[in-house]
Amino acid sequence: MKTTENQFKELLKEQDAYREALSLVQWDLRTKIPEHGATQRAEVIGLLSQKIHQLATSDQMKTLIDQLKGKTSDPILQRSVEDCEEEYNRSSKIPDEEYKAFITLRSKSESVWQKARAENDFSLLQPYLEELIAYNKKFAKYWGYETNKYDALLHLYEPGMTTKVLDEVFAQVRSGLTNLVKQIRESNVQPDENLLKHHFPKEDQKAFSLDILEKMGYDFDSGRLDESIHPFAIGINRNDVRVTTRYDEQDFRMAIFGTIHEGGHALYEQNIGKSLIQTPLASGTSMGIHESQSLFWENFIGRSESFWEKHFDLFKSYAPAAFQALDFSSFFEAINEVKPSYIRIEADELTYCLHIMIRYELEKALIDGDLAVKDLPEAWNQKMEDYLGIRPTSNQEGVLQDIHWSAGDFGYFPSYALGYMYAAQFHKRMAEDINIEQVIASGDFSSIKDWLTLHIHQHGKMKKPLEIIKEVTNESLNAQYLLDYLTEKYSKIYQL
What is the tens place of the pLDDT at every residue in 42-91? 899 999 999 999 999 999 999 999 999 999 999 999 999 999 999 999 99
d(CA 113, CA 129): 10
pLDDT at residue 230 above 90?
Answer: no
Each residue of 106-152: pLDDT tens digit? 989 999 999 999 999 999 999 999 999 999 999 999 999 988 999 99
Q: CA 449, 452, 455, 460 torsion: positive or negative?
A: negative
- Check whether 1 has a pLDDT greater than 80: no
pLDDT, residue 38, reads 87
Query: What would the mean pLDDT of 366-391 be, rounded to a whole number?
Result: 96
Q: Which whole number is the average pLDDT over 382-407? A: 95
What predicted TM-score, i.e. pTM, was given to this entire model? 0.92
Is beta strand 225-227 parallel, antiparallel or unpaired with respect to 240-245?
parallel
Q: 261 a known binding residue?
A: yes
pLDDT tens-digit profile of 151-169?
A: 999 999 999 899 999 999 9
Residue 471 is among the residues annotated as catalytic for this protein:
no
Instruction: Tell me the pLDDT of the chain averaged across its residues.
Output: 95
Residue 427 annotated as binding site: no
Provide, for the chain, the percentages of residues in helix, strand and coil under a 3-state DSSP scheme, each rounded to the nearest 5: 70, 5, 30
CA–CA gap between residue 361 and residue 359 (Å, rounded): 5
Mean of pLDDT values over 375-388: 96
Asked whether residue 265 is marked as a ligand-binding residue, the answer is yes
Write out pLDDT tens, residues 416-433. 999 999 999 999 999 999
- Write down the pLDDT at residue 32: 87
pLDDT of residue 229: 87
Q: Which of 82, 262, 337, 349 is catalytic?
A: 262
**What pLDDT was estimated at residue 345?**
85
**pLDDT tens across 202-227, in order?**
999 999 999 999 999 999 999 999 99
Neighbours of 189 (CB within 10 A): 10
Predicted local confidence at residue 35, as pLDDT: 85
Q: Please report which confidence band the pLDDT of residue 287 belongs to, taking 50, 70 and 90 as the band edges.
A: very high
Average pLDDT over residues 83-103: 94
Find, among 96, 94, 86, 79, the residue nearest to 61 by Cα: 86
Classified as helix, coil or strand, 227 is strand
